[in-house]
A and B are shown apart, each in its own frame.
Chain A
Amino acid sequence: MCKVCVVCIETMAARQTILNIQNLVNPSLLTVKRNYKRWLAPTLKELKRRKMKMGPEPPTRRSAFLEWNYHAELFAFGKRLGEEFRKDLLQRAFTHRSYIVQEEMRQKEVGIEDPKLSLEDNQEFIRRGETLMSEYLKCHLRVALPRFPEEGICAVHGYLMTDKTLAHVSRHLGTKDIILSSDFPVEEVTLATTLKALVGALAESSGAVRAREFVRDFILTQLAGRDINEFWEIKDPMRTLADILKRDGRGEPEPRLINESGRNTILATYQVAVYSDKQFIGLGYGESISIAVEMAAHDALKRLFHTTENMKPIPFTVDVRSMSYDESKWNTSVNDWSSAKVENVDC
């Protein structure tokens, strides 16, 4: 009986009981009394009031949690992506210059005269990764879109290499918590440069082919479901079209109004087709005739470049070894684009 009482006292909070302590003098008279906890609601209210007064909590680093093992995280990172990273190189790819500087400052503040860290930053990997990534993306785009002018290729490449796109990819690969950098929450630039450094580290540990496959699988696939033409704005499509037709030895482009509806209303719509030598080459709609002519010229250019809505999708499973990486294989510039120049390319 006495033993039971002791257990009761220990688990008083859990069992929501209040013991009449005085009865402990005589254990046989022990009574258990249950009450409403009148203090509970006011306490919780007061706690909540104080919490609200403090404002929102600042975000905490995931690495500050008790359940955090940096080496396990690094190991899992490579395995998750199906890549074999060398551990030291991977850790180096995640270490930014700002982190090392911050750590050295911290050590100096503590009083260490000559702070020494056994860490190397990822500057070199970033440079190497960026070159490799940029080179491969352009090469793949040229193979996938052989009739698309070089300016367009550069525009699509520019979109893929922006910090926003790269940061999006990087964040969704799980680098956010592992990055060693002074800024928190991690900025877009840091996320993007980390991804470049990862490509560099991968090229160092498993070879350039694996690195290119990594770029193909994670960065190039951002184009899936996107319209290629939206990245490249042609300033004066009618003039561009006229120049191209002239180089081809065909007649001037001739826009003709082929349908219209609701003239002089706010819902007016016009349909314009462009003809050259009485041959149909493009079709466009617009709420005014000038817009419709411009859209028709855009459509004619899309048909020439084979980037219409029903184009063959960009292949994401091409063997990266089959591509040649020489600078001479640039696509034709839009300023000397003609059908004869792209005749021999396979598409």
Chain B
Amino acid sequence: MSNSHLFLPSGFPRAPLQNGIGRFVCQLQRITIKFCKSNGSSRGVREFIEKDLLDFAHNYPGIVVYVKPRRHHSPCLSAEYLNGERQYVNCHNHSRDEVIKWVNLLRTESGNQIIRLRKMWHTDCPSIQGPWSPFVNRDPHLNVVEFPNESLSRPVYLPKTATEQLKEIFEKQRQTNVSSLDEKQAE
């Protein structure tokens, strides 16, 4: 997470209305294209309307397209989604390709508020085995132990002390000495 995301609300990815489990519904319900008929900043949008808008409307009949000319203003796209949210894109001096890209982006969005995703997946049932507790897979013999118990009171893991390590080394050396003596006697 970078500092630019500090003020973004965070959350998990959610599909509106369990979209996609039953059938997929395009969440963009209407798009309004506002532009000027003469201003140069609307040139790309005008080209989009002339060349691509009919195909767009034909391919996606579930989206209502409104075209609204207005004099001497920057062009913009105003998208309304099924969840009641509204997205607004300023298309000042955009080329035709840029307008196509923005329209496709608006079409494929869910309309949910933009959030910082804490994870890229989400599940309501994190474990089908049930939650873990200290009692899970507990040794049954612990049920009949009487406390205080000496062996259970000791630490589970104790590292070897220096004395023990020295004793081990001494024992090893003595063993090797004995074996070499045996070999010499055999010769």
Question: Within 8 Å CB of B84, what residues of A?
Answer: 171, 176
Does A328 touch B at the CB level, under 8 Å? no
Contact A80 B25 (CB under 8 A): yes
Asked if A216 is at the interface (CB within 8 A of a chain B CB), the reply is: yes
Q: A67-B32, A259-B138 are in contact. Are A14 and B72 (CB under 8 A)?
A: yes
- On whether the beta carbons of B26 and A80 are closer than 8 Å, the reply is yes
Let me know if B26 and A221 touch, CB within 8 A: no
Instruction: List residues of chain B with CB within 8 A of the CB of A310.
Output: 128-129
Selected from A76, A172, A222, the residue in CB contact (under 8 A) with B83 is A172
A110 touches B (CB below 8 Å): no
A9 to chain B, nearest CB (A): 16
Q: Is the CB of B62 within 8 A of A80?
A: yes
Pair B22/A216 contact, Cβ less than 8 Å: yes
Chain B interface residue count, CB cutoff 8 Å, equals 32
Note all chain A residues with C-beta closer than 8 A to B138: 259
Binary flags per residue of A244-287, CB closer than 8 Å to B gives 1, else 0: 00000000000000110100000001010000000000000100
CB distance from A333 to the nearest CB of B (A): 29
Would you call the interface of chain B mostly helix, strand, loop, or mixed? loop
| A28 close to B (CB within 8 Å) | no
Give the Cβ gap from B133 to chain A, nearest Cβ, in Å. 7
The stretch of B46-54, B63-71, B97-105 that contacts the partner chain: B63-71
- Residue B164 lies at the interface, judged by CB distance under 8 Å to chain A: no
Q: How many Å lie between the Cα of A82 and that of B60 in the bound state? A: 11
Q: Which of B4-12, B13-21, B151-159, B178-186 contacts A (4 or more CB under 8 A)?
A: B13-21
Residues of chain A at interface, number, CB under 8 A? 38
Known contacts A80-B29, A174-B82, A225-B124: does B21 contact A316 (CB below 8 Å)? yes
Query: Contact at B62–A76, with CB atoms within 8 Å?
Result: yes
Give chain A interface residues in 59-82, CB to chain B under 8 Å: 66-69, 72-73, 75-76, 79-82
Which of these, A73, A173, A258, contacts B64 with CB under 8 Å? A73
Q: Is A218's CB under 8 angstroms from B29's CB?
A: no
24 A-B pairs with CB atoms under 8 Å apart are A67-B68, A69-B64, A69-B66, A75-B61, A76-B61, A79-B61, A80-B26, A80-B29, A81-B25, A81-B62, A168-B17, A172-B82, A173-B25, A173-B82, A221-B22, A224-B21, A226-B124, A259-B138, A261-B134, A261-B135, A269-B133, A285-B133, A309-B125, A316-B22
**B binding-site residues for A, Cβ under 8 Å:** 16-18, 21-23, 25-26, 29-30, 32, 61-64, 66, 68, 72, 82-84, 123-125, 128-130, 133-135, 138, 143
Residues of A that sit less than 8 Å from B by CB = 14, 66-69, 72-73, 75-76, 79-82, 168-169, 171-174, 176, 216-218, 220-222, 224-226, 258-259, 261, 269, 271, 285, 309-310, 316
